[in-house]
Amino acid sequence: MSEITPAHEHLETAEHAAHAAAEGGLRAAIIPLSIAVMAVAAGALGILEGTASSSAIIARSDASIRRNEASDIWAQYQAESLKKHLYTIAAAQAGANTASLKEQADKYGAEEGTLQAQAKAKEKETADQVAISENEMERHHRLSYATGTVQLAIALASISIVVRRRWLWYGSLACLVAGLATAAT
């Protein structure tokens, strides 16, 4: 995960832009101003990246909870099924008390269907949460690449000031656009 740029760095960039504007006008300040915009974009992408990562973790946690709930319901289903079979066997072997034993077996048999439906519903919820987690993790990765690309744009723009090469600044703008496009997809 990328770290969010501290506010004092943004202020420092703005001060450089103001100083450049005072010395050479807006034309001289355009590159420092663009760096400030890039820094804000990188910070916003970093926040979105962290949010996507958190959402992925929460969804995966919810999936684990649902999986445990489904497991519990399946265990109860198996217990009810076992009880039904025991009462069915007992009814087949019993003499006078057959009706009561068959009634108990039928009761447990009726509960099996409900438990099976509940367990399958929990399994579907688990699958849904896993899908959400995977989508959010993919989004996190995409935003990580986007943030890194915008940070590269900041570095290129900064270097363009030092070496006084306008084409390098244009390259930084291309990186900015690529980073934002990556984040948007």
Q: What is the dihedral of CA 49, 50, 54, 57, to 10 degrees?
A: 60
Q: What is the dihedral of CA 94, 100, 105, 108, to 10 degrees?
A: -150
Mean pLDDT by 10 residues, the chain (185 residues): 57 62 65 89 92 92 91 89 82 72 78 87 91 91 93 91 87 93 90
Q: What is the reported pLDDT for 135? A: 92
Q: What is the reported pLDDT for 150? A: 93
**Could you give the 3-state DSSP secondary structure of residue 145?**
helix
Rg of the Cα trace of the chain?
Answer: 31
Contact 84, 31 (CB under 8 A): no
Given CA atoms 99, 100, 103, 108 in this order, what sign does their dihedral have?
Answer: negative
Q: What is the reported pLDDT for 1? A: 47
C-alpha neighbours within 13 Å on the C-beta side of residue 28: 11
**Could you give the 3-state DSSP secondary structure of residue 4?**
coil
